[in-house]
C-alpha cells in the first residue's frame, strides 16, 4: 500500500504544484499534438481539415465517456484511499476498468452506425464526406485503446502518481507527432496514406500510452489491485462511480453538442466559418487543456482531503488552483490578441480565412480569464462528489447561455454573433459558479 498521507500534510502550494505541473505539462504536450496533427492534415487540403472539424464532435463524445467516467473512478478511488479503505479503493478501480471495456464496445458499434448520416447532415461535399469516413473508421474501430488508457491515467492520478501519467501521455503524443508526417505524406519506406495515415498515427500513439501504463502496473507502481473478476464482484460500487461519472460524462459531452449546433448555425453563412470554429477548438485546447491539467491535479487532492475530513484544506487547494488557472488564461488572452493571424495561419494559407479567423479569436478570448472560475469550480465539485452541480455549471456554459446568444446574435450581426456569444456565456457562467461553490461549501462545512 502506498503512503499517501502527504496529500493531507504537505503545504498546499507545493502540493498543488507537484500534482498540477506534471498534469499541465502532459496536457500541453497533448494540445501540441492536436495542433501539429491539424497542421499536417491541413496540408492535405482544406476539405480534409473541414472533415476533421466535422468528425471532432464524435471524437469528443467518445472522449467524454472515457474522461467523464474516469473522473468518477478518480474521485471514488481517492475518497476511499483518504478513508484508508484499501479494499474498497481496489474494488472501485477494478470495476472502473471492467466498465470501460463495456463502454468501448457499445460506443464502437454506435459510432459506426451514426457516422455517415451525422457527417451528411453538415456537408454535401463528397470530398469532405470521404475524408471524414476514412478517418473515422480507423479511429473508432480502435476506440477501446484510448478508453482503457484513460482509466489507467485517472487511477494513477488518484494515488498521486502523476509523473507516470505524464511520461505515458508524453510518450504517446510524441509518437503521434513523429508518425504524422511519416504516414500522411510517406517518408522513408512508409507509403503516403493521407488522412488514413493521420488516423493510424493517432491509434498508435494511444497504444504507446497504454503500453506504458501496463508496464507501470506490471512493476507494481499502480498500488491498486486490478481484476476484472473483482470488478464484477464489486459491482455494487457502480452507483457511486456513475453518480459522479454520469454528470462528468455529460460535462465532457456538452462541447460536442455545442460544436454540432454551432456548426449548423455557421453553415448558413459559409464553410469557412465552420473551418474557423474547428481551428479555434484546436487552438483553445492548448490553453484549456493546461488549465484542465491543473484541475486534474487537484481533483484527487480535493477528494482525498474531503475523505479525511479536512475541509479548510480543500478551500485552500481551490484558491491555489484558481489563481494558477487565471495566470494561464491571461497568457492565452495575450497570445490571441497579439498573434491571431499567426495562429490561424498555421491551419490555412487562404488570406480571407486567416483574416476572418483572427477577428474571431480577438472576440472569443474576451472570456478566457473569467472562465477560470467555472472550470476550477467544476473540478472541485467533482472531487467533493457533487457531480450534478458540476454538470449544471457546464450545462449553463455550453448550452443555456451560449446557444441562444449565438443564434440570436448571428441573426443580427452574422457569424460574428457566434463569436461574441462565447465571452458572454463565460461571464454569465462565472457568476453562477461562484454562487454554487459558496452554497456547496456551506452545506458540507
Residues near 222 by Cβ (< 8 Å), separated by ≥ 6?
Answer: 152, 155, 156, 159, 161, 216
C-alpha cell at 362: 480577438
- Measured between alpha carbons, how far is residue 423 from residues 139, 192, 231, 381, 429 in Å? 33, 41, 43, 23, 10
Question: What DSSP letter does each residue of 138-168 carry, written as one string?
Answer: HHHHTHHHHHHHHHHHHHHHHTT-HHHHHHH
User: Mapping DSSP to helix (H, G, I), strand (E, B) and coil, where does residue 227 land?
Assistant: coil
Identify the pLDDT of residue 225: 83
Q: Is residue 5 part of a domain?
A: no
What are the pLDDT digits (tens) for 24-76? 776 677 667 667 777 788 888 878 888 887 887 788 778 778 877 877 787 78
Identify the pLDDT of residue 4: 58
* Rounded-to-integer distance, Cα 212 and Cα 216, Å: 6
Claim: this prediction has a pTM higher than 0.75: no
Are residues 278 and 53 in contact, defined by beta-carbon separation less than 8 angstroms?
Answer: yes
| pLDDT (tens place) for every residue of the chain, 445 residues total | 455 566 666 787 888 787 777 777 766 776 676 677 777 888 888 788 888 878 877 887 787 788 778 777 877 887 787 777 888 888 888 888 888 888 899 999 999 998 888 888 877 788 888 888 999 899 899 988 988 988 888 888 777 777 888 889 889 888 988 998 999 998 888 898 988 998 899 899 989 999 999 998 888 888 788 888 877 887 888 887 887 777 777 777 777 788 888 888 888 887 788 888 888 877 777 777 778 878 878 888 888 888 777 888 889 999 999 999 999 899 999 988 998 888 888 777 788 888 888 999 999 999 999 999 999 999 899 888 887 888 899 889 888 999 999 999 999 998 899 999 999 999 999 999 999 999 999 888 6
Q: Is residue 171 part of a domain?
A: yes
Q: Is residue 239 part of a domain?
A: yes
Q: Is residue 12 part of a domain?
A: no
The mean pLDDT of the chain is 85
Q: Is residue 143 part of a domain?
A: yes
Residues near 86 by Cβ (< 8 Å), separated by ≥ 6?
Answer: 1, 80
Q: Which helix (H) or strand (E) holds 385?
A: none
Identify the pLDDT of residue 6: 62
Identify the pLDDT of residue 438: 93
Nearest CA among 234, 249, 223 for reference residue 95: 234
Into how many domains does the chain fold? 1
* Rounded-to-integer distance, Cα 42 and Cα 16, Å: 38
Owning domain of residue 391 = 20-444
Q: Which helix (H) or strand (E) holds 408?
A: helix 402-413
* Rounded-to-integer distance, Cα 152 and Cα 165, Å: 8
* Rounded-to-integer distance, Cα 68 and Cα 246, Å: 7
Q: Is residue 250 part of a domain?
A: yes
Q: Is residue 375 part of a domain?
A: yes
Are residues 89 and 80 in contact, defined by beta-carbon separation less than 8 angstroms?
Answer: yes
Report the number of secondary-structure helices (H) and strands (E) in the chain: 18, 0
Identify the pLDDT of residue 8: 66
C-alpha cell at 306: 474531503
* Rounded-to-integer distance, Cα 410 and Cα 352, Å: 19
Q: Is residue 4 part of a domain?
A: no
What are the pLDDT digits (tens) for 101-152? 888 999 999 999 988 888 888 777 888 888 889 998 998 999 889 889 888 8
Identify the pLDDT of residue 423: 94
Identify the pLDDT of residue 166: 83
Amino acid at each position: 500500500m502506498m503512503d499517501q498521507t502527504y496529500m493531507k500534510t504537505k503545504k498546499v502550494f507545493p502540493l498543488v504544484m507537484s500534482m498540477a505541473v506534471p498534469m499541465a505539462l502532459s496536457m500541453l504536450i497533448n494540445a501540441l499534438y492536436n495542433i501539429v496533427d491539424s497542421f499536417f492534415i491541413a496540408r492535405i487540403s482544406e476539405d480534409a481539415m473541414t472533415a476533421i472539424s466535422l468528425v471532432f464532435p464524435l471524437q469528443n463524445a467518445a472522449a467524454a465517456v472515457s474522461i467523464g467516467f474516469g473522473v468518477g473512478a478518480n474521485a471514488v478511488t481517492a475518497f476511499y484511499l483518504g478513508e484508508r479503505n484499501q479494499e474498497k479503493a481496489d474494488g472501485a478501480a477494478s470495476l472502473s476498468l471492467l466498465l470501460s471495456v463495456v463502454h468501448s464496445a457499445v460506443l464502437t458499434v454506435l459510432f459506426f452506425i451514426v457516422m455517415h448520416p451525422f457527417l451528411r447532415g453538415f456537408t454535401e461535399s463528397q470530398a469532405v464526406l470521404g475524408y471524414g469516413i476514412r478517418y473515422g473508421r480507423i479511429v473508432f474501430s480502435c476506440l477501446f485503446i484510448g478508453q482503457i488508457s484513460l482509466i489507467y491515467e485517472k487511477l494513477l492520478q488518484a494515488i498521486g502518481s502523476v509523473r507516470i501519467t505524464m511520461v505515458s501521455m508524453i510518450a504517446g503524443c510524441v509518437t503521434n507527432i513523429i508518425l504524422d508526417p511519416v504516414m500522411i505524406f510517406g517518408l522513408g519506406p512508409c507509403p503516403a496514406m493521407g488522412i488514413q495515415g493521420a488516423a493510424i498515427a493517432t491509434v498508435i500513439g494511444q497504444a504507446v500510452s497504454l503500453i506504458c501504463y501496463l508496464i507501470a502496473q506490471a512493476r507494481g507502481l499502480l498500488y491498486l489491485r486490478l481484476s476484472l473478476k473483482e470488478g464484477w464482484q464489486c459491482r455494487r460500487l457502480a452507483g457511486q462511480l456513475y453518480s459522479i461519472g454520469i454528470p462528468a460524462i455529460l460535462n465532457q459531452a456538452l462541447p460536442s453538442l455545442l460544436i454540432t449546433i454551432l456548426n449548423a448555425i455557421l453553415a448558413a453563412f459559409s464553410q469557412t466559418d465552420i473551418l474557423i470554429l474547428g481551428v479555434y477548438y484546436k487552438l483553445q485546447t492548448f490553453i484549456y487543456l493546461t488549465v484542465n491539467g491543473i484541475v486534474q491535479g487537484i481533483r484527487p487532492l480535493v477528494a482525498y482531503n474531503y475523505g479525511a475530513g479536512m475541509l479548510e484544506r480543500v478551500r485552500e487547494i481551490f484558491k491555489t488552483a484558481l489563481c494558477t488557472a487565471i495566470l494561464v488564461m491571461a497568457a492565452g488572452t495575450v497570445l490571441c490578441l497579439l498573434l491571431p493571424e499567426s495562429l490561424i495561419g498555421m491551419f490555412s494559407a487562404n488570406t480571407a480565412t486567416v483574416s476572418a479567423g483572427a477577428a474571431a479569436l480577438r472576440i472569443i478570448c474576451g472570456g478566457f480569464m473569467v472562465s477560470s472560475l467555472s472550470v476550477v469550480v467544476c473540478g472541485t465539485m467533482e472531487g467533493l462528489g457533487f457531480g450534478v452541480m458540476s454538470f449544471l455549471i457546464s450545462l449553463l456554459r455550453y448550452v443555456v447561455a451560449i446557444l441562444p446568444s449565438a443564434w440570436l446574435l448571428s441573426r443580427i450581426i452574422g457569424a460574428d454573433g457566434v463569436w461574441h456569444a462565447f465571452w458572454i456565456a463565460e461571464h454569465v457562467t462565472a457568476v453562477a459558479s461562484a454562487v454554487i461553490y459558496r452554497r456547496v461549501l456551506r452545506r458540507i462545512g
